[in-house]
């Protein structure tokens, strides 16, 4: 794979603007092998921990976005038991 640094950007995460640095991860052409056409973009906050804040995966014409949010103080409801 090839990792390409992206320009610093401001992403909106959970309603707040976060300064980030992104990276594009994509396949490279290797003689005798099929090229991996999909890509993954990863964005890290420009904080001291480089906290991951967003992942964007692209496969063909489908794009999936995962945004990380702070869950401190969030009350979690456990899932119902699985019926067998």
Give residue-wise pLDDT tens across range 8-67: 999 988 888 999 999 999 988 888 887 777 899 999 999 998 989 999 999 888 899 988
The pLDDT confidence band at residue 73, using thresholds 50, 70 and 90, is: low
CA–CA distances in Å: residue 75 to residues 28, 59, 68, 72, 78: 44, 34, 17, 9, 10
Under 8 Å between Cβ of 69 and 53: no
Q: How far apart are CA 20 and CA 37, in angstroms?
A: 25
pTM for this prediction: 0.74
């Amino acid at each position: 794979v090839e990792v390409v640094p992206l320009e610093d950007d401001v992403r909106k995460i959970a309603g707040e603007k976060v300064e980030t640095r992104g990276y594009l991860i994509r396949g490279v052409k290797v003689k005798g092998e099929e090229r991996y056409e999909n890509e993954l973009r990863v964005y890290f906050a420009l904080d001291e921990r480089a906290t991951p804040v967003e992942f964007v995966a692209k496969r063909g014409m489908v794009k999936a976005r995962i945004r990380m949010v702070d869950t401190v103080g969030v009350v979690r409801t456990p899932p119902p038991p699985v019926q067998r």
